[in-house]
Structure 1
Amino acid sequence: MVLFGLVIASITIGSREVGVDDILAALGGSRDGFDQAAVAARLPRTVLALLAGAALAVSGAVMQGVTRNPLADPGILGVNMGASLAVVSGITFFGLAAATSFVWVAIGGAAVAAIFVYAIGSLGRGGATPLKLALAGAVTSAALLSFVSAIALPRSDLAGGIQSWQIGGVGGAVFDRISMVLPFLLVGFAICMLSARGLNSLALGDDLAAGLGERVAFVRGACAVGAVILCGAVTAVTGPIGFVGLVVPHMCRLLVGVDHRWLLPFSALGGAALLTAADVLGRIVARPAEIDVGIITALVGAPFFIYIVRRQKVSAL
């Protein structure tokens, strides 16, 4: 019910308030008048917010399960920024223009960043501890952001669009772009949901999971692939949106526990609700202008990240 209410709010709230008649008319294909045109523009935006929020939340929950790290998140671990750098590099140096190419390039960049951060965080005594992974991700994100700026600034024809995209938002969504990324999201969701039982075994430790018959390396790799596909595909369309994958899984664990068979579906619903709510809030607080969802989620997620770090007893999942 909460998610349904947020969907209705996302369609009705904006620089122009619309009524039920206009919503029904727009759903029927009518575009007469400004109100119906506004509804038609908000429909794909709402769908994208739902899909992106669900994908980022599931990706974060899977990353936390794979690394047994309560601080794992596509933004914190630098995965989103790796996808961003790959897309910006593709546009600037190789003239990428096809929307499908953006998705493949973003997924590749996300994968490289994830492998790099995990490798750096695994160095030294103790292996890939939560704090080391978070620090490696933060440093990597800062470095990749600097590379993005260095690439974009000399290109005055692209710098404005890249800077706006880097904030992360769902404004300007169209169903053509959503249909382009939807197959990748469906594959990512399927991989992650099918890996739920394996994630439960990994939570017991690698040795015990292997004793229970799990192929630990295969499960870990499959989960990582699913998470990378989700966050890479979303980043290609919305830009990097942080903290959704951190906040939502922790909130859902309080509701349904640590069983990933329940945690992943509830995280999808929670992520969809959070990003839709952030989009609605961004339209309200700065009306008639808007604040992108990437800024809203950062304002919500940064204090939550500090809270998780300061909880001494949360050293691993």
Structure 2
Amino acid sequence: MSPAEGPDVATLRRPARVRLGWLLVVLAALVLVMLASVAFGSRIVGWSDIVAAVGGTDETLDQAAVIKRIPRTLLAALVGAALGLSGAVMQGVTRNPLADPGILGVNMGAMLAIAVGMATIGLYTATQYIWAAIAGAAISALFVYSVGSLGRGGATPLKIALAGAATSAALTSLVTAVVLPRGDIAENFQSWQVGGVGGATWENIAQVLPFLLGGLAICLLSARSLNSLALGDELAAGLGERVALVRGVAALGAVVLAGGATAIAGPIAFVGLIVPHMCRLLVGLDHRWLLPFSALTGGVLLTAADVLGRVVNRPDEIEAGIITALIGAPFFIYIVRRQKVREL
């Protein structure tokens, strides 16, 4: 990227002390939004009740509310981290500034797989949802990348974005066709389809956590190789990278994260788009810093969205997926206009 095409390169190569400073800021923000998540909702809970509830006391309604909100808060941070990291890896793998599990059809592939599983073989456990979602997400990702690679120029950002948008629209129609005739699953599916963490339980977190940790490990271990891919396939190969293998392994980690997050919280869009762009401005282009920052910042964003959804419509709530869509749609338009869908 030349200076005429975007931010000055020097502003994207932050010294270590600046990166460490932003790390402390992001960690502090994560702690604050998690505290806000257990304190705010249909009832506002005081600090003394929060401390008592964390210690295991549930003698009052406020303390009981805190105990119920703790798994919700943890799940919001985990799902946000998974989506933020998945988006950063997808952007690195495809060199596409518009890459995101929602925009590329990965979330919708996971949702269709769950819908088909519920309608045909009666999926009902979180683990079954997760396996189905990962399989659906992987198939959708392969399809979108294959379609976007057709024709002159290969897999350009514009072609992949268009292929993802078309695939998402088609999969949405298929989901409706599968679920609509089935009144026995439609109600539960529609509440999950919106995307949110209101149904969090310790059991669900325990079931999805191994998948998220596995995807996290794969993605973080791919960071150095993603730096090589950013130089272009020919240069990466000249540096000794097996480009196809690196791209496939990193994409696998991103799909596992996106599929697991979608299975447990529904299809939450735009977190994977917004977060990596924010983090590049803070810590630069080095994926060894960008990926962990994207995970932490994703946790901050989704937890904050969940808190906002509970506060603005009290005593009812707006699901976090709706809040992220309201934030992400204008950001998507801004990125399209500013980047002109060039490669990263």
TM-score, length-normalised on structure 1?
Answer: 0.98
Q: Does 1:109 find its partner at 2:136? A: yes
Distance 1:13 1:312, change over 3 A: closer
Q: Does 1:202 find its partner at 2:200? A: no
In 2, Cα distance between equivalents of 1:303 and 1:9 = 26
In 1, Cα distance between equivalents of 2:301 and 2:176 = 29
Q: Does 1:177 find its partner at 2:212? A: no
Determine the structure 2 residue equivalent to 1:50.
Answer: 77
Q: Does 1:229 find its partner at 2:220? A: no
Determine the structure 1 residue equivalent to 2:305.
Answer: 278
How far 1:313 moved relative to its partner? 5.2
- Identity, in percent, stands at 70
How far 1:97 moved relative to its partner? 1.8
In 1, Cα distance between equivalents of 2:123 and 2:39 = 36
Match of 2:159 among 122, 129, 132: 132
Determine the structure 1 residue equivalent to 2:126.
Answer: 99
Contact 2:157 2:341 in 1 (8 A): no
Match of 1:75 among 74, 91, 102: 102
State the 4+ residue runs in structure 1 displaced beyond 6 angstroms.
none
Contact 2:85 2:291 in 1 (8 A): yes
* Number of residues of Structure 1 aligned to a counterpart in Structure 2: 317
Determine the structure 2 residue equivalent to 1:156.
Answer: 183
Contact 2:96 2:341 in 1 (8 A): no
Contact 2:98 2:273 in 1 (8 A): yes
How far 1:88 moved relative to its partner? 1.1
Determine the structure 1 residue equivalent to 2:38.
Answer: 11
Match of 2:245 among 215, 218, 224: 218
Q: Which runs of 5+ in 1 are unaligned?
A: none
Q: Which runs of 5+ in 2 are unaligned?
A: 1-27
Q: Does 1:88 find its partner at 2:115? A: yes
In 2, Cα distance between equivalents of 1:190 and 1:155 = 38
Contact 2:216 2:257 in 1 (8 A): yes
TM-score, length-normalised on structure 2?
Answer: 0.91
Match of 1:168 among 195, 200, 214: 195
Determine the structure 2 residue equivalent to 1:287.
Answer: 314
Write the letter of the residue equivalent to 1:14: G
Write the letter of the residue equivalent to 2:240: G
Give the RMSD, CA atoms, in angstroms: 0.9
The superposition leaves residues 60-87 of structure 1 with CA deviations (integer Å, 9 ceiling, x where unpaired) of: 0000000000000000000001000101
How far 1:314 moved relative to its partner? 5.1
How far 1:28 moved relative to its partner? 1.6
In 2, Cα distance between equivalents of 1:26 and 1:183 = 27
Determine the structure 2 residue equivalent to 1:59.
Answer: 86
Contact 2:220 2:288 in 1 (8 A): yes
How far 1:98 moved relative to its partner? 2.4
Determine the structure 1 residue equivalent to 2:336.
Answer: 309
